[in-house]
Chain A
Amino acid sequence: DADVTQTPRNRITKTGKRIMLECSQTKGHDRMYWYRQDPGLGLRLIYYSFDVKDINKGEISDGYSVSRQAQAKFSLSLESAIPNQTALYFCATSDPDSQETQYFGPGTRLLVL
């Protein structure tokens, strides 16, 4: 079984809809992250959480919110989806014992019409 899972894997939604992307991990890591990937722009950090009570904005947090429900779960919400949020979204955990090496989920491909 995968250590970091994401649901859904693919999602099509309409402008203005609220959607939630979910991430679960079995690695036992405290630190979790949400990234988006756009062609030519690489991976950009949306939000990160260093433990259940610690949530921080990344470089592109506008239009997104997160919830850390437990050590193992970190969800990303788009409150009112817009077309330029069409992207590939990755959840990741990191291991402080290996200098924050990132372990990625399989990704969620989101299309906002």
Chain B
Amino acid sequence: ILNVEQSPQSLHVQEGDSTNFTCSFPSSNFYALHWYRWETAKSPEALFVMTLNGDEKKKGRISATLNTKEGYSYLYIKGSQPEDSATYLCAFPSGGYQKVTFGTGTKLQVIP
């Protein structure tokens, strides 16, 4: 079982604050790193797929960076809004058939 770790486990921020959290993964045999957003009572939806060391992806106020050599990715949210409240999951496809291992997620709550 691969070790895909996310920190912090949960986070409360005020509306308008910027925040970031971390996903760490095995640095050997890297294939890709996914970020998903999971709102309460819904199912996870893909945010970013990252494949290259140094990749930076952006969607609105949310961005992510990737360091494959040291095995980590950061997700940043600029100017958090209440609708950003969700659990953010990272996932790591690996092995010959690229089976996906999920981290336990960071639960973000944005307080109005």
Q: List the interface of chain A (C-beta within 8 A of B).
A: 33, 35, 40-45, 48, 50, 56, 58-59, 90, 94, 96, 98-107
Pair B99/A101 contact, Cβ less than 8 Å: no
Q: List the interface of chain B (C-beta within 8 A of A).
A: 1, 31-32, 34, 36, 42-46, 49, 51, 89, 91, 93, 97-105
Pair B105/A102 contact, Cβ less than 8 Å: no
Given A33-B100, A99-B31, A102-B34, list of 15 further CB < 8 A pairs? A35-B102, A45-B99, A45-B100, A48-B99, A50-B97, A94-B100, A99-B32, A99-B49, A100-B32, A100-B98, A102-B46, A102-B91, A102-B100, A104-B43, A105-B43
Q: Report A-chain residues with C-beta under 8 Å of the C-beta of B99.
A: 45, 48, 56, 58
Bound complex: CA A68 to CA B86 (Å): 32
CB distance from A99 to the nearest CB of B (A): 4
Q: Report A-chain residues with C-beta under 8 Å of the C-beta of B104.
A: 40-42
Work out how many contacts link A and B, with CB atoms closer than 8 A: 56
> With A40-B104, A100-B32, A101-B49 given, is the CB distance from A107 to B1 under 8 Å?
no
